[in-house]
Amino acid sequence: MKVIYLLVPLACLVAAIIAGFWGAKIGNSATHRITITGVGLSFVLSVVVLFDVLDGHSFNGSIYTWGTSGGVSFEVGFLIDHLSAVMMAVVTFVSLMVHIYTIGYMRDDPGYTRFFCYIALFTFAMLMLVMANNFLQLFFGWEAVGLVSYLLIGFWFKRESAVAANLKAFLVNRVGDLGFILGIAAVMYLFGTLDYSAVFSAASEKQNAVVTGVLGYEWSWITLICLLLFVGAMGKSAQVPLHVWLPDSMEGPTPISALIHAATMVTAGIFLVARMSPLFELSTTASSVILVIGGLTALSMALVGLVQNDIKRVVAYSTLSQLGYMTVALGASAYSVAIFHLATHAFFKALLFLAAGSVIIALHHEQDMRRMGGLRRYMPITYITSVIGSLALAGIPPFSGFFSKDAIIEAVHHSNIPGAGLAYAAVLMGVVVTAFYSFRLIFMVFHGEPRMDKQARSHLKESPWVVTVPLVLLAIPSLLSGGFLVESVLGGHFLGDAVAQGPSAGEGDHLTAVGLMTHGFLAAPLWLALGGVFLAWIFYVRVPSLPGNVSQRLSLIYRILHRKYGFDQFYQWLFASGGVRLGEWLWKRADIALIDGFAVNGTANMVGWFSRVLKRLQTGYVYHYAFVMIIGVVVFLSWGLWS
């Protein structure tokens, strides 16, 4: 099996290298054949691994020792258990779909081979991240996916907005990564090792270790580590207030929005916390923070989604909101539920993005929903798959999202740590909003009168098969994976012992998918979701003038939402302009005036001046020379005789 584990990431890496270095030489079709073969192989092997793990086999060992320093060895190693196997399968499946889809989406792009190289490289990095058995390799994968994300957001590097967006993503992620690496350093300091299993087994005995911080306040080491690691997770999984980069990342091509900024990379933070669940279980403080942050993200970002008109941005804000849901689940110690939602979300969100991309290419890169409408007649496959995705997102049974979201809401409901009440309210309200904006999108894009210009309408047709086949293939798990997996999730078998079990695990052992659905009709979330869909129908189909009126009446709220709570402006003012101003000040005062002017050139000038002065001592008169000698003798004599 070791060979198979190794082959899973390496197949992608080799494909990426070939596509990257020889892509231009071997041509477009050979490039996509090679990368799809590589990723396809990864997918097949990941499925093999998944079944092997389900059979009860797991693996934890190092493959290669990278270096040893001061008794600590840095290793490349794999930890294959339920958690990583599920992640591998999800990542490679979505990646494979996106690879196929890209053939159609990027057909005429001059950067075709570069794009394939990047996404294959991304798959490799993501696999290294999820398969890691130590913090160092985790960090490698973490940074590598960040790098590829940066490269892909700025894929169209001639667009100013794309360059600004990738810079923003990079900088915001730096903030998170700083916390992350500090967390790793803290782990290193406390445990003396970077190996997961060693850290986890030693964690409980270090539970009471404290560090005295500033002002003499005592921190629990574990809490400190968890919070630092979670800061990293917040950056990558775009939690408030580090979420600002994700909507802008939509500047990248749609396939990577689906792959990286919806299905896989942004869930790395969720994965991280789930992976570290034995640590997080030991810190209620950290769990509370996670709950609150997740709840805030889930509701506030869903609200912003209501007022977006760019089709991709709607989906992007829904991603933010759903990531908030997953975070809430983590905070409620329902780690397997979080991963469950991660998996179902990966399918339906990738589906929604790819469907949005399909619409975008059909309309020749038009992204404004106000210039769409009535597309269901022209694009039936895209329409049906989008509806499936939206139903899953809104949480309507029997679609997958219903089960995972319901499980999250239940978990929060049962949690009684500080912040749980707030998070519960947030996720419940979020359900209405989610259903509303999902169907707002469906109704605006696919129903009503076509609002695009004549020329665009005359070219409307369904996308080619390389686009629609991935849609269909993603629609299947979006529909089925929830019901299929929910029993094992609630029974606590889903991730085996890969994650720590929360206090409520095992309670739902008697539940079945069908039972859950019938139970759903008696519970609030489903009715809230249906209410949201109904509202959307009234607003955008029944009474199309309503949205304008409402936004005028509630213009203050509308403006706040439209401005996304002012995060961007605030960051721009404080960090971007402030940073520039500070830099300018330091440059002029500290660098030019103090360091260059005073320290460096000042010293040089002083030495030069001194040199010219001393040079005058050399008068050329021999009696001066003799005088200096005599003075020297006298000085030495008096010194010697004195002491």
Q: What is the C-alpha to C-alpha distance for residues 381 and 369, in angstroms, rounded to an integer?
A: 19
Alpha-carbon 231 to chain mean position: 12
By beta-carbon proximity to another protein, the closer residue of 554 and 606 is 606
By beta-carbon proximity to another protein, the closer residue of 570 and 609 is 609
Instruction: Compute the least distance from the CB of residue 113 to another protein, in Å.
Output: 44
Q: What is the C-alpha to C-alpha distance for residues 445 and 435, in angstroms, rounded to an integer?
A: 15
Instruction: Compute the least distance from the CB of residue 596 to another protein, in Å.
Output: 17
| Strands (E) located in 288-389 | none
Contacts of 5-9 with CB under 8 Å at 24 or more apart are 5/49, 5/59, 5/63, 5/78, 5/80, 5/131, 6/63, 6/78, 7/41, 7/42, 7/45, 8/42, 8/45, 8/46, 8/49, 8/88, 8/92, 8/127, 8/131, 9/42, 9/124, 9/127, 9/128, 9/131
Burial of 218 (0-12, 13-18, 19+ CB in 10 A): exposed
By beta-carbon proximity to another protein, the closer residue of 454 and 615 is 615
Instruction: Compute the least distance from the CB of residue 614 to another protein, in Å.
Output: 5
Alpha carbon of 285 to those of 288, 291, 299, 325, 492: distances in Å?
5, 10, 22, 19, 24
Instruction: Compute the least distance from the CB of residue 630 to another protein, in Å.
Output: 8
Instruction: Compute the least distance from the CB of residue 597 to another protein, in Å.
Output: 19
Instruction: Compute the least distance from the CB of residue 610 to another protein, in Å.
Output: 6
By beta-carbon proximity to another protein, the closer residue of 554 and 604 is 604
Query: Nearest Cα to 343, choosing from 408, 293, 297, 397?
Result: 408
Q: Is 78 helix (H, G, I), strand (E, B) or coil?
A: strand
Instruction: Compute the least distance from the CB of residue 634 to another protein, in Å.
Output: 10
Burial 383-405 (b: 16+ CB within 10 A, else e): bbbbbbbbbbbbbbbbbbbbbbb
What is the number of residues in the chain?
Answer: 643
By beta-carbon proximity to another protein, the closer residue of 201 and 603 is 603
By beta-carbon proximity to another protein, the closer residue of 217 and 639 is 639
Query: Nearest Cα to 370, choosing from 296, 273, 453?
Result: 453
Query: Nearest Cα to 391, choosing from 323, 340, 438?
Result: 438
Sequence letter at residue 616: R
Are 347 and 484 spatial neighbours (Cβ–Cβ below 8 Å)?
A: no
Query: Nearest Cα to 415, choosing from 333, 489, 525?
Result: 333
Alpha carbon of 416 to those of 246, 305, 363: distances in Å?
31, 30, 49
By beta-carbon proximity to another protein, the closer residue of 65 and 603 is 603
Are 320 and 301 spatial neighbours (Cβ–Cβ below 8 Å)?
A: yes
Instruction: Compute the least distance from the CB of residue 257 to another protein, in Å.
Output: 52
Q: What is the C-alpha to C-alpha distance for residues 175 and 244, in angstroms, rounded to an integer?
A: 12
Cβ-based neighbour number of residue 600 at 10 Å:
12
Query: Nearest Cα to 175, choosing from 563, 574, 581, 583?
Result: 574
Instruction: Compute the least distance from the CB of residue 628 to another protein, in Å.
Output: 5
Instruction: Compute the least distance from the CB of residue 631 to another protein, in Å.
Output: 7
Q: What is the C-alpha to C-alpha distance for residues 15 and 238, in angstroms, rounded to an integer?
A: 29
By beta-carbon proximity to another protein, the closer residue of 592 and 631 is 631
Alpha-carbon 512 to chain mean position: 32
Q: Is 368 helix (H, G, I), strand (E, B) or coil?
A: strand
Q: What is the C-alpha to C-alpha distance for residues 279 and 203, in angstroms, rounded to an integer?
A: 7
Instruction: Compute the least distance from the CB of residue 612 to another protein, in Å.
Output: 5
Instruction: Compute the least distance from the CB of residue 598 to another protein, in Å.
Output: 17
By beta-carbon proximity to another protein, the closer residue of 546 and 629 is 629
Sequence letter at residue 465: W
Instruction: Compute the least distance from the CB of residue 637 to another protein, in Å.
Output: 6
By beta-carbon proximity to another protein, the closer residue of 216 and 640 is 640
Instruction: Compute the least distance from the CB of residue 592 to another protein, in Å.
Output: 22
- H or E stretch including 541? none
By beta-carbon proximity to another protein, the closer residue of 24 and 629 is 629
By beta-carbon proximity to another protein, the closer residue of 365 and 612 is 612
Instruction: Compute the least distance from the CB of residue 626 to another protein, in Å.
Output: 6
Q: Is 283 helix (H, G, I), strand (E, B) or coil?
A: coil
Q: What is the C-alpha to C-alpha distance for residues 438 and 536, in angstroms, rounded to an integer?
A: 9
Sequence letter at residue 65: T
Report the interface residues with another protein, using CB under 8 A: 604, 607-608, 610-612, 614-615, 618, 620, 622, 624-626, 628-629, 631-633, 636-637, 639-641
By beta-carbon proximity to another protein, the closer residue of 570 and 610 is 610
By beta-carbon proximity to another protein, the closer residue of 64 and 623 is 623
By beta-carbon proximity to another protein, the closer residue of 593 and 628 is 628
